[in-house]
Structure 1
Amino acid sequence: MPDDPSEGWDALAQRFMEMRSVVGAGLVRDWAIAQLPAGSAIVDVGCGSGVPIAEALMETGFAVSGIDASPRLVAAFHARFPDAPVACEAAQVSAFFDRTFDAAVCVGLIFLLSEADQADLIGRVAQALKPGGRFLFTATLQVCEWPDNLTGRLSRALGQATYTALLDAHGLSLVGSHHDEGGNHYYEAIKPCDPEPHKALSTSHD
């Protein structure tokens, strides 16, 4: 865990909220509608201010909870969605995962964490999902590192092979791959209802 659990994002919260576009919101909304029962409980991991991901899901009738390590972003989330549960905690150590959810979404966060913290986060999501629950998160297919545009801190994507192995190690199965209008890659995993499912990998380019 870093000294700043928000990985530098709290100091830049206002700038981030001003810059955040709606890219990805449509894909996440359409994915949830297609894959989840109406009104499902979804946790938005790294929810930020709740715009646009949590907002798009709530507008569609899903019960969304949020987790973010930035106090400023969590305050903005609570101000915008006062009835939605939100926790100001680092996702990789969050006690929020003592609850269970039908699905988890994690857009723009996992690659900001260290490799060890990415593994911890996947494990915590796996524990929090109900059988049959789904996990949608963004990261590149390739192994790569780059400086974040806002914080300047190192971002690191572990690549499809490593993410597949981490998901498998925590009882999740990679079942889908998606791309949004901004070219961002999404991994889709499921927590099987039975111990040994083997579902074909599907790909969409929404």
Structure 2
Amino acid sequence: MADESNGYESIATIYIKGRGQEVNGIGSSTVRAWARTFNKGNVILDIGCSTGIPVTKILLEEALTAYALDASPTMIDTFRQHFPQVPAACESVEQSAFFNRSFDGIIAVGLVFLLSEENQRALIAKMAAALNPGGKLLFTAPLDKVEWKDVMTGQFSRSLGGLQYSELMTAAGLSIMSEFEDEGKNHYFGASRPA
């Protein structure tokens, strides 16, 4: 059976002890700034939520309603310990029905580039389709088209590159809003569904 967590279930304990507890880690200020662009109570899906720290924690602190998704059973168990009130599913993004609902925002930090090129293309269209009119998408992936072997999981990751991501978002009916880097040089792509 394939590892739907892209290697993260096998290193979940290590991840949780390290990055899975960084409340104010790299990217936290970026996520908080994005969260503040929503109205209180708006519904946001955190894809690849891991432990929920920091992304889901920030969403809740900003008075947003969160849903969460991760393919690692260990990550989801830890997430549920942190945030028992948040609907959370242990599913791969490829198989998930996204709770059979739409969202005001979808965020995917550290996930998209873990997938095959085919699955990345499908995911961008799927995320776009799950946004309410006026909804916003934010995800991370390297700006350049590149492939590398992940140090922690030993699995291959790949970025389709900024031009390809922009084309995919536009083809999915999204308007490109922004591209930027955080203090850790992580590249973000932001888009919105027209109202």
TM-score, length-normalised on structure 2? 0.94
Equivalent residue in structure 2 for 1:29, among 28, 32, 36:
32
Q: What residue ranges of structure 2 are gaps of 5+ in the alignment? A: none
Distance of 1:150 and 1:162 partners within structure 2: 26
Mapping of 1:102-181 within 5 angstroms?
102-181=104-183
Q: Which residue of 2 aligns with 1:204?
A: none
* Aligned AA (2:27): G
Mapping of 1:39-54 within 5 angstroms?
39-54=41-56
Distance of 2:58 and 2:17 partners within structure 1: 18
Distance of 2:57 and 2:48 partners within structure 1: 14
Mapping of 1:50-129 within 5 angstroms?
50-96=52-98, 98-129=100-131
* Aligned AA (2:168): L
Q: In percent, how many aligned pairs have the same letter?
A: 43
Partner SS, residue 91 of structure 1: coil
Q: What residue ranges of structure 1 are gaps of 5+ in the alignment? A: 194-206
Partner SS, residue 163 of structure 1: helix
Partner SS, residue 92 of structure 1: coil
Q: Which residue of 2 aligns with 1:197?
A: none
Maintained 8 Å contact 2:35/2:62: no
Distance of 1:93 and 1:171 partners within structure 2: 22
Count of residues paired in the alignment = 191
Distance of 2:6 and 2:142 partners within structure 1: 19
Distance of 1:93 and 1:169 partners within structure 2: 22
TM-score, length-normalised on structure 1? 0.89
Partner SS, residue 94 of structure 2: helix
Maintained 8 Å contact 2:42/2:65: yes
Distance of 2:18 and 2:182 partners within structure 1: 18
Distance of 2:127 and 2:10 partners within structure 1: 27
Q: Which moved more, 1:89-98 or 1:36-45?
A: 89-98
Q: Which moved more, 1:74-83 or 1:91-100?
A: 91-100
- Structure 1's consecutive aligned runs of 4 or more residues displaced over 2 angstroms after TM superposition are none
Q: Which residue of 2 aligns with 1:4?
A: 3
Distance of 1:178 and 1:61 partners within structure 2: 25
Deviation at 1:97, TM superposition (A): 5.1
Maintained 8 Å contact 2:102/2:132: yes
* Aligned AA (2:66): V
